[in-house]
Chains A and B, each alone.
Chain A
Amino acid sequence: EDKVVQSPLSLVVHEGDTVTLNCSYEVTNFRSLLWYKQEKKAPTFLFMLTSSGIEKKSGRLSSILDKKELFSILNITATQTGDSAVYLCAVDSNYQLIWGAGTKLIIKP
């Protein structure tokens, strides 16, 4: 059975800290791994990763994929209160997205 596991489930840090969120997966036919940010409502797209070792970067956020060890990490540097959200990881397997339960990140001022 395909599965995606995110850790930690929740994380509380202070503004300015750096955080690393983890996503591991076991799927039958990996096509890509996607990261989304979910604040109060709809998830919004952050990154899509298809190749190992190639870092995707957007401002203070970056992500990398390891297809040998079957995981991805999402890094957020110099965190701000606006980064507080649930971060979701999903893996495209056989044209269906398999979602992790998410990491709830809380940034304290």
Chain B
Amino acid sequence: NAGVTQTPKFQVLKTGQSMTLQCAQDMNHEYMSWYRQDPGMGLRLIHYSVGAGITDQGEVPNGYNVSRSTTEDFPLRLLSAAPSQTSVYFCASSKRSMNTEAFFGQGTRLTVV
């Protein structure tokens, strides 16, 4: 069972570069979300999606874009990377709503220099 697959696992970007973090799930989950995790802080929601074609902003959306063209995929785009975006990023999915168990990808450690 693949579950939630995130790529890449590690990435180093220069300030101003753009990139896309990939996230795919094979559990037919409706809900998908992106978080960032910084030392000493909890997971913070960047963007989320309640189904294909529907996305919404979370707590810290600035500098990030998402799209949800299929149920399976939920890529996160960094438009112009900044050092403040250095973090560990997690993608998560859940079956019906956030009121159920969320399954997480293995994370992407992003460093912006």
Residues of chain A touching chain B, judged by Cβ–Cβ distance below 8 Å, are 4, 31-32, 34, 41-45, 48, 50, 88, 90, 92, 95-102
Residue on A nearest B31 in the bound complex, by CB: A95
Among A31, A42, A45, A50, the most chain B Cβ lie within 10 Å of the Cβ of A42
Q: Is the CB of A96 within 8 A of B105?
A: no
Q: Is the CB of B101 within 8 A of A97?
A: no
Interface flag for B100 (CB, 8 Å): yes
Q: Is the CB of A43 within 8 A of B104?
A: yes
Q: Which secondary structure dominates where chain A touches chain B?
A: strand
Chain B residue total in the interface (Cβ 8 A): 25
Residue on B nearest A100 in the bound complex, by CB: B42
Within 8 A of A (CB), among B59-111: 59, 90, 97-107
CB-CB < 8 A to A97: which residues of B? Answer: 33, 43, 45, 98, 102
CB-CB < 8 A to A92: which residues of B? Answer: 98-99
